Each structure stands twice: as structure tokens, then as C-alpha cells.
Structure 1
Amino acid sequence: MKKIAVLCILLISTFSCSYNSEDDLTEEVLIENFVTYESDIKPIIDNNCISCHSNPPINGAPMALTTYDDVKNAVENRGLIERISSTDTGFLMPFGGPRLPQNLIDLVIQWEEEGLLEN
């Protein structure tokens, strides 16, 4: 009788176990990293635009780009992305060139597409 009980316990424990592959245990978790003004866009503006787009603007710059609201407004209403994307030397920003690297332009475009997040 003891042998039957041990055999039943052994059978139950064997068939009640499940097999998880390593892939099941290391499921990929996607973490969305959105582009934000504070972490991504402000450094671009500070390093490339503030020399003219300060407050007050100098060297003929039409607006300041010193705050989140300034830059957001420039993207939404003043054609900032078109200006930084242009290859026309008379329209090039930063003024007098060279044109911003494409990866920085793409970051500004992504920021707009993701909703112009501040933080």
C-alpha cells in the first residue's frame, strides 16, 4: 500500500510540473522612452540656437527659444522643424550653418510626433 501511495505521489508530482523554456522566463519587456523637452530638446536648443535666440533675441532672430513654451510655440506655429530641416543655404538654421546633424533634427521631429512632452 505504501508503494502505491509513493507511486501516486511520484506520478502526480511528475505530471503536475510544467516546463518553461528560457524564452518564457525572459520575456522581452518594452519600455517606451519618449523624447522630452527637458532631457532631449533643451540641450539641442541650448547648444545650437541660444546664441541668437536668447531673451531678448539678437542677430536678427525673430523670437526667443529659452523656455519650453517658446520652443513648443516655434514648432507648432513658427516652422521651427522646417527651418532646421532646410538644406537651402539662405534658410539654414543655425544661421550661417552648418546644418544640424540629421539625428538631432530627427529627435525634434520625434518630439513633435510624440506630443511635445515637457518632462
Structure 2
Amino acid sequence: MTTTRILYLILLAVCTVSCEYNVEEEDMEEISCDPGISFSTTVRPIIDNNCIQCHNGSVHPLDFRNFSTVKDNAEKIRELTEAGIMPKQGSLTSEEIALIGCWVDNGAADN
């Protein structure tokens, strides 16, 4: 094996171990799911601060100012925020993403 190939394999191994460590570290920071998460006091402010600029009925057809639209799309909202796809402008904290996920897991209630 050439020296370049050996160095490449070492670099690949270091990167792989580094990525695995980060995943484990993120898993440890998970928020326990509170069954009392409120839409009006917890989820609505996240949507208002991060989503309404596009999801207001004029830029994107889904108008998140209406609870029924948010409720009908709750699973998709969780999926896209967890994947980091939404919001397109800006970003959510890991806590905000977890809160949305918990709210959806708890039935996406209008509370």
C-alpha cells in the first residue's frame, strides 16, 4: 500500500469515529417529552418566529396562521424540521425541534 493510501484510510477512520461521537452526544441532549406541551404558548411562538414569513398564504399556499392548517400538516412539519429542511430561512434550535416533535407525538392538540 502506498503512503497516500494509508493516510487516506487513517483520515477516513478518524472522520468516521468523529461523526459517531457527535451522534451519541446529540442523543444525550434529547428533551423528555412533556405531555402538557401547549400549542398556544410553546409551538405557536416557534411558528410565528420562524415559519409565518413564508407560510402566510401569500408566499407558500400553506397558511400557518390557521391552526387547522398546522394541525393537518403536523406530521410533515415535524419531519421537515427534524431533517433540517425547514425553515428555509434561518434555523430552529434542537430544543424547538424537540418541542414540535413532542407536541405532534401528543396529538397536536389546540391547547
TM-superposed CA distance for 1:57, in Å, is: 3.1
Q: How does 1:102-113 map to 2 (within 5 A)?
A: 102-113=94-105
1:118, 1:106 → 2: CA distance? 18
- Following TM superposition, the consecutive aligned residue runs of length 4 or more in structure 1 with deviations greater than 4 angstroms are none
TM-superposed CA distance for 1:49, in Å, is: 0.3
Q: How does 1:22-61 map to 2 (within 5 A)?
A: 34-54=36-56, 56-58=57-59, 61=60
Aligned to 2:66: 67
Aligned to 1:117: 109
- The structure with the larger Rg is 1
Q: Given the alignment of the two structures, is residue 86 of structure 1 paired with residue 83 of structure 2, yes or no?
A: yes
Give the length in aligned residue pairs. Answer: 78
**8 A contact 1:83–1:93 mirrored in 2:** yes
TM-superposed CA distance for 1:33, in Å, is: 6.1
1:51, 1:45 → 2: CA distance? 9
TM-score, normalization by structure 2: 0.62
Question: Whose helix proportion is higher, 1 or 2?
Answer: 2
Change in CA separation of 1:33 and 1:84 when aligned onto 2, cut-off 3 Å: closer
Give the CA RMSD over aligned residues: 1.7
**Identity over aligned pairs, percent:** 29
**8 A contact 2:37–2:102 mirrored in 1:** yes
TM-score, normalization by structure 1: 0.58
